[in-house]
Structure 1
Amino acid sequence: MTGATVQDGDVIQIRTASPDDAALLAPLNHIVHDLHKRHRPDLFLDFPEPDAVEAFFRAQIADPSVTVLLADGTEGKALGYALARVKNRPGGALTCSDVIVSLDQIAVVPDAARTGVGAALLEAVREVGRAAGCRRLVTDGWYFNEGARAFYQAAGFSPTNVLLDQQL
């Protein structure tokens, strides 16, 4: 898809994932999943079945509204991924119709954090959205994930709503 030069002059390639990449995506997903399960063990499994996670990614890759992007380093090592979904939102009595690209997941290996890999993945998601005729890129982040919130703020995102949660 695209090549990007990141910190220290390394070049990464951002490419669209294939079903064969499910085995690469599953361990990358654990980077973020582990943070989520630490903070919300009531919502996230302790140890998701690797086969189930790979099947999840194969299903996402097969969905025509979804694009899964992989960041490959110079040695072919997977450095991160992003999962984006194009959504058509019909208008209603109170809202305008809209076509958006939603960044549903993004993860970067810890060794590549703050080197530009996340920014390159984010720009590739923007390209997916522009190619699909989207007006906006939206994402969400857990309140406890301060690193993600700082990343999105630095990338120019601004809050639009707050989802509140209460145990019953």
Structure 2
Amino acid sequence: MFRIRTASPGDVALLATLNHIVHAPHTQHRPDLFVDSPETDAVEAFFRARIADPSVTVLVADGAEGEALGYALARVKNRPGTALTHSEVIVSLDQIAVVPEAARSGVGAALLDAVREVGRAAGCRRLVTDVWHFNADAGEFYRAAGFSPTTVHLDQQL
């Protein structure tokens, strides 16, 4: 059993610790982009700023014993229209992490559902996220949750 709650400033150290779940594969596969061992103070400052940002919602999944099982970081974005596109309000899932011991237990799905509710409450029409090509498990998770690809970003070293 677990519950999903909104993170508070008191969760900053916890979120910084959980962030390793998300950050480690990125540093392994793209060390040219991601800091190998980010300073704890800097990661905590990152989460402190996100929690203080009214467009951002950080959610925490707590287990029955109060232990942290994961988190999600989502941002509501207003996209202005152009001559070619409609304006819209979307919710962007920027990070989601579940401790390995709780993988495939429904924690990720519950966090995702809570992000959807954040978006609906803000009047969003869509939930968007992105997945690095090397993160096959995340890709499977999102496809199983009903996401479909929209664009492919390409990268080339110069």
TM-score by length of 2: 0.99
Question: Which of 106, 111, 118 is residue 128 of structure 1 equivalent to?
Answer: 118
What does residue 48 of structure 2 align with?
Answer: 58
What does residue 147 of structure 1 align with?
Answer: 137
Counterpart of 2:58, as a letter, is V
- How far does the alpha carbon of each residue in 1:52-108 deviate from its partner, in whole angstroms, 9 at most, with x for none? 101100000000000000000001100000000000111110000100000000000
The Cα of 1:27 is off from its aligned counterpart by 1.0
CA distance in 1 between partners of 2:107 and 2:44 (Å): 22
Q: Does 1:43 align with 2:38?
A: no
The Cα of 1:19 is off from its aligned counterpart by 0.8
Q: Is there any run of 5+ residues in structure 1 with no aligned partner, and where? A: 1-10
Listed as ranges, the matches of 1:72-111 within 5 Å are 72-111=62-101
Counterpart of 2:2, as a letter, is I
**What percent of counterpart residues are identical?**
80
SS at match of 2:32: coil
What does residue 117 of structure 1 align with?
Answer: 107
The Cα of 1:46 is off from its aligned counterpart by 1.0
SS at match of 2:119: helix
CA distance in 1 between partners of 2:56 and 2:93 (Å): 10
Counterpart of 1:115, as a letter, is S
Counterpart of 1:20, as a letter, is G
The Cα of 1:121 is off from its aligned counterpart by 0.1
Q: Is there any run of 5+ residues in structure 2 with no aligned partner, and where? A: none
SS at match of 1:111: helix
- How far does the alpha carbon of each residue in 1:1-43 deviate from its partner, in whole angstroms, 9 at most, with x for none? xxxxxxxxxx211000001100110111001111110000101
Alignment: residue pair count:
158
The Cα of 1:147 is off from its aligned counterpart by 0.3
SS at match of 2:27: helix
TM-score by length of 1: 0.93
Question: Which of 122, 136, 150 is residue 160 of structure 1 equivalent to?
Answer: 150
Q: Does 1:14 align with 2:4?
A: yes
CA distance in 2 between partners of 1:100 and 1:32 (Å): 22
SS at match of 2:105: coil
SS at match of 2:24: helix
The Cα of 1:155 is off from its aligned counterpart by 0.2
What does residue 60 of structure 2 align with?
Answer: 70
SS at match of 2:2: strand
